[in-house]
Amino acid sequence: MSRDRDYGRRDVLRAGGIVLGGSLVSGPAAAADGEGATTLTVLSYNDIQTAAAQDENFPRLVTLIEQRRAAADGPVVVVGGGDEVGPHALSPISQWRAPVDVLNEVEPDADVIGNHEFDYGLDPISDVTADSEFPWLATNLVDTETGEAFDGTESYRIVERGGVSVGIIGLADQGATTGKTNIDFAAEGITIEDYTETAPAEAKRLKEEEGVDAVVALAHTGIGDAEGLAEADADDDIDVIVVGDDEQLYPPQEVDGSIVSESRARAAYLSEIELTIEGGEVTAWDGELIEVTEDVEKDPTASGIINDYRAEVSLDSPVVETETPLNATFGANYHRETGYGNLITDAMRERVDADAAITNAGGIRSDSVYGPGEITGGDIFNTLPFPNTVVSLELTGEELVETLESQVVTLESDTGQQFGEEISQQTSGLRFEWVPHDDADELVREVYVGGEPLDPDETYEVAVNSYIANGGSGYPLEDKPVVEETGELQATTVVDYLEPQETIAPTVEGRMQRVDRDLPDASVTVDGNGKVVTQFDAPDDVDSVAEDTVAVWASDGEHLDAEKAVFDDEEATLMVRVDDGDLAETVEDADDGEEVPLDLYAKYESSEFDHIYFERSRLNADVAATVRRRGRGRAGPPGR
């Protein structure tokens, strides 16, 4: 449902600084401690999400918070960076209640409304806050008429502890509101103020009018925007920025006079920042990320809460055995086809007997890999935790292409420069190429539906989840005709699909083929004898070709690795050789004289493209293969 991602982790987990002349320089907090100084510890977490349904990291995080509270040399403030109440496997049963019940045991001083706090709708926010024994902040999400925090939330919270006064504010950007929910905030009477203007102004007010010693901003914005907030805070009134949303491992570090930190997600880390408060201001700091490991004992109360909810839905019951890994990581599902994405969409397509199925990459959660081995119902609900149902829509071929193109992120875009080019979805019943570059004539091309070339004027039944059917994740589907509304949770659909099967082994089948540059078209004859050799002129940006990656693909997913491939860098040519007999088996269903469209793909080093996620660029050539049977009937072994 959202685009929260973390494709890597930073190696350095500790940093520190001293405030001198309005900026931070390296050095431990203790270096500035003097008579009358107080050490304030800020503990923070963010994006609990799927951990809320598991008796693993979350109960351990509760214990770790209590341990660090006890070890602190002075007052402690505990805060969250948002996205705590969803999505998780218990959402269909407990909604927000399981994570809120556990957080009530933590007794945080404040948390911020993030996009996943809206998973259950706008009105239930007041139910979330009513069940919470701590405040939820939304400083820049205000009632349009009154200018005050919208129903159930607070604009700020001041914590007085150990002689120190701390002002806390909560912020969300457009990406974490209109960009990741289906809520029309303007129509609901909520104004989303520019956090880079609202936050510095509120921080200044808290210091000048309320007399707080430090200001902590809970920013559900992601690291990039949080760094932008630090830069926008010209007077350095915001001392700490606790970040959520993009789930990065970002140890505390100084950015333009503010200390910025993010604890990745799913209760995997706790951020600890020590501020030296002296004379009513922060004079030094030290900080680190502390990993939540199995060495930390689980808090028994937190474990009991989670396990009581789990028992209601039998999440620990085995469903199927998988022989291949089920990859639910963000990095894989946003960037490329995955075996698990194929399984999910196959289940959706079968459920409504549709021509094709599409699901958004952000709807596949947990950022984990399951199997090989036993898969439980909890595993499926953990990866598909939203209350989305399976819906089928009627789309023309032209609309189907537009739908697929809506999710392509080009390498040259701002998102592409941060995360790399992305296809951002998983599909079934479809095969197509995607060209992730701003100069591409078509972002999606050569589309096949059920093995047949797409007809722009034909109508197709396409299975999707209810979130994207309503226009979520930027899909242009909100006004499309509905064929069937199952009312069945997407996770339930997948479980029902798996239960009759003893074992599964989903793999990557070439449903979505990335292409950076094209080779010239080629024509070959396939008669089942000898070798087929073709030479291509290479584009100017090809420095070298990974010869072991060259393969020929048919439109039904059958493919054949090249027997030999040689790139001549002086002549800028690529020679490819395949066994004719093996190639004939790839097109064995073709009639004598029939021309079969094939595609050749190869990975290469480019002098032009600097990829963020992928290691290499990718070439494509359209190959027209004319089948000749030579009077032997269909190609095949003797006696067939």
The domain spans of the chain are: 14-306, 315-513, 515-627
Give 499-526 pLDDT, tens digit per residue: 999 999 999 999 999 999 999 999 999 9
Could you give the C-alpha distances from 317 to 209, 379, 390, 495, in angstroms and in order? 57, 10, 23, 11
What local confidence, expressed as pLDDT, does residue 35 receive? 61
Rounded to whole angstroms, how far apart are CA atoms 222 and 245? Answer: 5
Q: Looking at the domain covering 14-306, what would its CATH class be?
A: alpha beta
**Chain-centre distance of CA 588, in angstroms?**
40
Q: What is the pLDDT of residue 630?
A: 63
How far is the C-alpha of 336 from the C-alpha of 423, rounded, in Å? 6
Which CATH architecture does the domain made up of 315-513 adopt?
Alpha-Beta Complex (3.90)
Q: Are 607 and 508 in contact (CB under 8 A)?
A: no
Rounded-to-integer distance, Cα 78 and Cα 247, Å: 19
Sequence-ordered list of residues with C-beta below 8 angstroms from that of 638, at least 6 positions apart, any chain = none
**What pLDDT is stored for residue 620 in this prediction?**
98
> What is the block-wise mean pLDDT of the chain (640 residues), using blocks of 10 residues?
42 35 38 72 96 95 98 97 91 88 98 93 94 97 93 96 97 88 92 97 98 98 97 97 96 97 97 97 97 98 94 84 97 98 98 98 94 94 91 98 98 95 98 97 97 96 97 95 96 95 96 98 92 96 96 91 96 96 88 92 97 97 89 39
Alpha helical stretches, state H, 320-470: 330-335, 339-352, 377-383, 397-405, 414-419, 466-469
Q: CA angle 564-570-573, nearest 5°?
A: 45
Asked if 379 and 504 count as a contact pair (C-beta separation under 8 A), the reply is no
Neighbouring residues of 158: CB distance < 8 A, sequence distance ≥ 6: 165, 166, 167, 168, 206, 210, 212
- The torsion angles phi and psi of 311, rounded to 5 degrees, stand at -65, -25
Amino acid at 473: S
Non-local (6+) Cβ contacts of 197 within 8 A are 232
CATH of domain 515-627: 2.60.40
Query: What pLDDT is recorded for position 34?
Result: 52
211: Cβ contacts below 8 Å, ≥ 6 apart: 165, 280
DSSP string, 144-160: TTT-SBPTT-BSEEEEE
DSSP class of residue 422?
Answer: B
Q: Which of 423, 407, 403, 409 is nearest to 469 (CA)?
A: 403
Say if residues 250 and 14 touch (Cβ distance below 8 Å): no
Backbone torsions φ then ψ of 303, nearest 5 degrees: -60, -40
